[in-house]
Structure 1
Amino acid sequence: MTGLFDLSGRVAVVTGARRGIGLAIATALAEAGADIIGVSASLEPQGSEAQRRVEAVGRSFTPYRVDFTDRHAVGRLAADLATDHPPIDILVNNAGTIARAPAAEHTDADWDHVLQVNLTAQFTLTREIGRDMLGRGRGKVIFIASMLSFQGGVLVPGYTAAKSGIAGLTKALANEWAAHGVNVNAIAPGYLATDNTRALREDAERSRAILQRIPAGRWGQPADTAGAAVFLAAPASDYVHGAILPVDGGWLGR
């Protein structure tokens, strides 16, 4: 049974690896045996928390600092990964951002920024890394979706559009790539205690309303996504394609 979740010898790219969900997933994949390539817009070149955690369990950590708002930078990252490293076995698309404003006040700049980071950059990176996975007949792609892949949300039209796009992209790529040995799936975190939800947690009324709807009765933690990520990266999920796995404390079932 242990082999179903063994990632020994695998190389995983985790974007947004400096903190939050990305840090938790990078740690969990390393604990399962994978070497980690961490990517973030502000990742320290040495001594990051991600590096310390990964190396503490005996795996290698390679950092990249990339601005996901820059299309050319994302393209260069894909090229560097193709030439400087062993083939990528696992890609976790976690890097993201959010802009909160009423739709009537949501600027074009905010819209473009959120869609570029949360959707376009993720497609670009997945296309380039996925092409090699297809050639080898093996690979695991994990997107980070959202509760707003299923619902409309409030005051975040760009984020909702992007995360709804991630759900569709997950299914579209799975339809094309499943027959070629590449699994494309997504995790949809619920309301987790991350930087993106700080404004909600600091609003006492909004936080209370959210907690009242979560059957588990608490805000999630980034580490709550770790098991789902290991499952979707491991042989245990070899026949899972196009799934969007909620990790939400029961929110969607309410």
Structure 2
Amino acid sequence: MEEFSIDSFALTDKVVLITGGASGLGRFYTQAVSKVGADVFIVSYDRTGWEDVRAEVEANGRRVAFLQQDITEPGAAKKIVDAAIAEYGRIDVLINNAGMQRRHDIVDFPDDDWRAVIELNLNALYYLSHEVAKVMIDRKGGKIVNIGSMQSYRAGKFIFPYTASKHGVMGLTRAYADALAPYNIQVNGLAPGYINTPMTKALQEDPVRSVEIREHIPAGHWGEPRELMGAMVFLCSSASNYITGAMIPVDGGYLLR
């Protein structure tokens, strides 16, 4: 049996494909994998953050390439995979990070918002995973990491499509894990809790809801984006080779209460 080594957490010379990896929490995932040796291929809807992320990755001594692409467009998955292979010749890890949320009261929830969220958060994840899986099957190995949510476990009475999509991400994670295990491909999820980001600023400043959330977290505080980075590296690395089909909450214990 191979001896355990701290090197099992390294991603030296691996290629990580990540959607939405130049902004929000995705930027921290990009930083994390590049810090431990990975080259990165980022797919973004627009060019926001590209130059800052390029500087961060190159400061870690790694390469980064970008593709501007709406991942919900028909045929986008194959276009993305072909571009990543053309750039690096391989894909070792896929991080399905891109997502959105739309919030409305139940009576007023627009059908267009339902369709937009499901298309990005669930359908695009399915299609890109399917296309990447073909490459990984041929190479007999790989990792897929899907970004879940507290709403993978709980209700969300104003965010119906988001909740449905994140429950769906949990299901797809398990289904793909089962289907791809014979090919040495592990499929897992990371479910961030309440994290201090610009997107959650309004919620943090709500005098009632912010207190309710903080009191629901055993750790006693909102998470910082950097606190997700270790779990992401773990799920992308060989250290997690005997874990598949899991959704790991990084939530300060929020789900315990």
Same fold (TM > 0.5): yes
Structure-2 residue corresponding to 1:6: 10
Q: Is the 8 A contact 2:43 2:80 kept in 1?
A: no
CA distance in 1, matches of 2:201, 2:163: 17
**Alignment-mate amino acid for residue 12 of structure 2:** S
CA 246–63 in structure 1, closer or farther in 2 if over 3 Å, else same: same
Residue 36 of structure 2 corresponds to residue 32 of structure 1: yes
Counterpart secondary structure, 1:71: coil
Q: Is the 8 A contact 1:191 1:220 kept in 2?
A: yes
Worse-superposed segment, 117-126 or 80-89:
80-89
Mapping of 1:1-254 within 5 angstroms?
1-44=5-48, 47=51, 49-254=52-257
**Alignment-mate amino acid for residue 250 of structure 1:** G
Q: Is the 8 A contact 1:192 1:219 kept in 2?
A: yes
CA distance in 1, matches of 2:107, 2:167: 20
CA RMSD of aligned residues (A): 1.5
Q: Count matched residues.
A: 253
Q: Is the 8 A contact 2:12 2:38 kept in 1?
A: yes
**Alignment-mate amino acid for residue 136 of structure 1:** R
Deviation of residue 68 (structure 1)?
2.8
For structure 2, the residue ranges without an aligned partner over 5 or more in a row are: none
Q: Deviations over 1:19-74 (max 9, x none)?
A: 22111111110011000111211235952x22111100100010111223423334
CA distance in 2, matches of 1:99, 1:75: 27
CA 198–115 in structure 1, closer or farther in 2 if over 3 Å, else same: farther
CA distance in 1, matches of 2:177, 2:243: 9
Q: Is the 8 A contact 1:71 1:121 kept in 2?
A: no
Counterpart secondary structure, 2:18: strand
Counterpart secondary structure, 2:102: coil
TM, length-normalised to structure 1: 0.95
